Structure 1
Amino acid sequence: PVVASAVNEPTNTTLLNAAYDIWQQYEPETFPGIENVNAYALFTFDATWLLIRSLEQLCSITNNRSSPCLSIVNDSFCFNRRLLDSSSLFDIINTDTFLGVSGLVQFSSNSTDRVSGIYYVVKNIQSLSNELNYVPVLVWSSLDAWTQHSQQNTVIWPGQSLVAPTGYATIAGVTLRIAVIEAPPFTMTQQVADTNGIITTKLVGYIPDLLAILQTNMGFIPNITLLPANQSYDGLIDDVANHVYDMVAGDVTILAVRREQVSFTDSIYDNSLRIIVRNTASARPDFWFYLRPFSLGVRLCILGSIILSAILTYLFERNANDVLRHKSFLSKIVTSIWYPLGTIMGFGVDYSVRTGAGRFLTFSVFFLSLVLISTYQATLTSNLTLRQTQNIISGIDDIKNGKIPYGRIGIVTNSSIEAYYLQEISNGIRNFYPLRTEGAIFTSLLSKVIDAAIMDEGVLEYETSSNYCNLTLVGTGFDPSAFGIVFQKNWVYEQVLDVNILSLRESGTINNLKSKWFQSNTCSQSSDI
């Protein structure tokens, strides 16, 4: 800002001269001369003068009160002092208008800035007498916006031209702070050894290749920062909005809520969401699955019941039953064990009990057999149903209908996928299994922590065809979206970046990059990772 006199607007010269006289009278050694007084000192003087005028008016209003007009509370502690009539003082300030040494001074309760007497000057860098000078060419005020300066100086554009340039700002030679996030195959790291055997880390993938092409075409200097995989995507948006980075390049989805903070280029990758599950066709056969309905404790109880029943059968039937009476001791033991075992299994035995106690024991063992068979059948059916749950998922509709427990669905938090899940599936309830990184999707599926996950199609297709061969995608893509390069709002290089992205799409370069990084297939049907 400049004072009003700099743009030939009126100021209070009487007040200014009086202030200079007082300054020279009491502190002549500090007075720099009228021409050397900084403009901000004049703004400060007007602010002080406004305070003096307002306090004077406040005291004239409160003269009839018993308390002083400048009553201060908590005056024993300097950082907690408060003027009792502060609201009245502010009302006076907001209604006072006067011509100060910097111009017209006027405030309003709706703004902390002056509402009038505000002026700005645009100066043009021009070469005069082999020296660079700042020449005023435009003036802005709260009343007239931008107008030509009173000196009517001509604007000299780059190249000593009098014609304003058209087009957009060039980015050649500009250093850009670019953040990329590790997410195969968009951005990956690779260890490379030079001729001297020194190993360095190199960025490879879809995004590094795209940035290299843009650098060649546009001429900017990239200062790339690799962020860890657990960096949240919403945090990246905040970093760009807060000018931590100039750009973020990666699998960042273009969302309306994100456009409120930052801007995006045209699509660099057309995306949709997919569902990933374990590939049950490649799972190892589980020969012990049919023993799992009974826990170890139940199995021991069954064994104990058979042994106890065998002992009781021997005691009850050894003398009364002709089958047992004429056998050796060892044969009696084996036959006694065979009787409850055959009764429990349901295929019967080749002799019958003769005593009442034996018949009651038979009834007890047969009843135990019914309980065990019913329990086994129910538990086995439940386990088989759960085991086949993954095979009946055909797409996103099955998840919406609850065919997989919501707590068994993995979602990367602070991402566009989480936003989709909360809006389209759970009605805002975070009942999913939270994952911090994309890599956690695959490890959680393989360790059977989750049964399914939702993620971007490109990432899942690459991982299931290159690294995780016993995971598979089900259904078709849904919720189509696009990835774009993130940059600050009203960025001066926005147009040149957009033009280059569109050019790469039209020339087929984007499609070539997709073919290079997303259509690999190193998995075989027999792979087991």
Structure 2
Amino acid sequence: MIILLCNFRTLFLLFIFGQLSQQYVKATWPSLNSSTIQLLGLFSDEVNASQPSEFTIHSRAMFKAAVILSQQYNITIEGQFIGWNVGQTGGRAIDAMSSTCQAASTSNIVGIVGPAYSRESPIIAGFGERVGIPVISYAATDPDLSDRNAYPAFYRTVPSDNAAATAIVKLFIRFNWSSCIIIYQNDAYGSNGAKILTELFIKNNLIVADTLVFDIATLRMQDNLKNFLISSSTRIVVLWAGSVYTTLIIQNALDSDVLGPHFTWILSSSLPLNSFHETYHQKLIGMLTVEPIPGNIVDAPINTTLLNAAYTIWKQYEPETFPNSGKVNYFALFAFDATWLLIQSLKELCSKTTNSSSSCISFSNSSFCFDRHFLNSELFFNTINNMILLGVSGPIQFNINVTDRIDGSFYYAQNSRNSSNRLNFVPVLKYSNHDGWQEYSEGNVIIWSGNSLIPPTGGAKLEGVKLRIGVIQSVPFTMISTVTNEFGQKTTKLIGYIPDLIDLLQNKMKFIPNIELIPSNRTYASLGQL
């Protein structure tokens, strides 16, 4: 009996340790920073972040998967496999530059994947131009970065906000909305996104009624959100902010009661709806997000062979972070394509210089990052400009005029609604620059604010609003009538054309009138003092 009990305890402990070992499996990516040919990946989380974001985890995993896949495909540069170097930026330009300079000073960095944010990209693009290596971002969407003359070493696999703004304008046209308020974060991404959206609104005879700034340093609005929105004639709000800031702004909107059912919000980033208290869930219904997606969502071709191979590598080396193939952050696919584009361009570059006496990846001799220079930089950039490949996010092709990919600007609109007994974002519309907005699927109708199936008009409504209305006694417009009720009590009542009109409007518009008779000795100039 004692032996059996001991065996039982042993088995129980083994079971517990087994469960713990499965729960706390750590990433075991191979170390590839010993190669003399390296790609630098820049990712937005802090170094040793206690809670790294899904955005960073997935993008970094697909960056590494692309490099390992190149080795599995036996892609070599002058007989050597390509390796990687990873830098964490914390979302700050100075830290992005620090990580880049440190890596370039100690390793043979021949290309940069990243950075993630628009505010980091100009300085890293400038570094790429100085040393002659390409910088390919997977998430920086600032429209100003499209200027090839200003950023000759910069490319991006994510669509520019020029395309996102066009998609939003076409969304307004689809639902016959004519105006909006734009709220944006005060950095390159937010400011330039709001700028291009405003320009396209004006071009399409739409109105930006006003703009409101969210300060990412103080994490506060630069004006009172409630007063700002309620005093506006429009009830459509476009929020141009990253996911972290979007969560803070939406919480502010909930606290100020300027979300559903009175306002319709269109977001440029999704956010975790489960982070809000369930008492707010009804007010969160009806929001839309407009976000970039891979081509297969709109039935455009993608490279499924590469995608499946990359997922297999990810699951092999970091299984604890792999969600499932349908839950991978789409920016991770753009990160893979940025990495794969560099790999294929390096391969093509070195195939053109096989007869040269020097290495195809030679740098001028200097250990200081800013003094290095890639000797074949012009040929390298021309190679990228002429590359045509099918990536995991869709077709990838560039030209010498802009930094954006020629094709592959795809978006979907997600709708916040109750689904599977919980509040979720559900795809309802899909967009390509060829076909415009189309229904995502026949069963996914849009649930608008207030659980309505009818699209909002976009204008302010008076339903439930208390209105103080002043009237002047004047026959036959407004007259005073004495009425005796069933108890013999006499009361006064306003009658005439004006009271009848107010009753008619109240029945139609559902406002709550508080009618006051203006004394006859009042002048029009003094009415504003009442």
TM score, norm. by length of structure 2: 0.31
Larger proportion of helix: 1
TM score, norm. by length of structure 1: 0.31
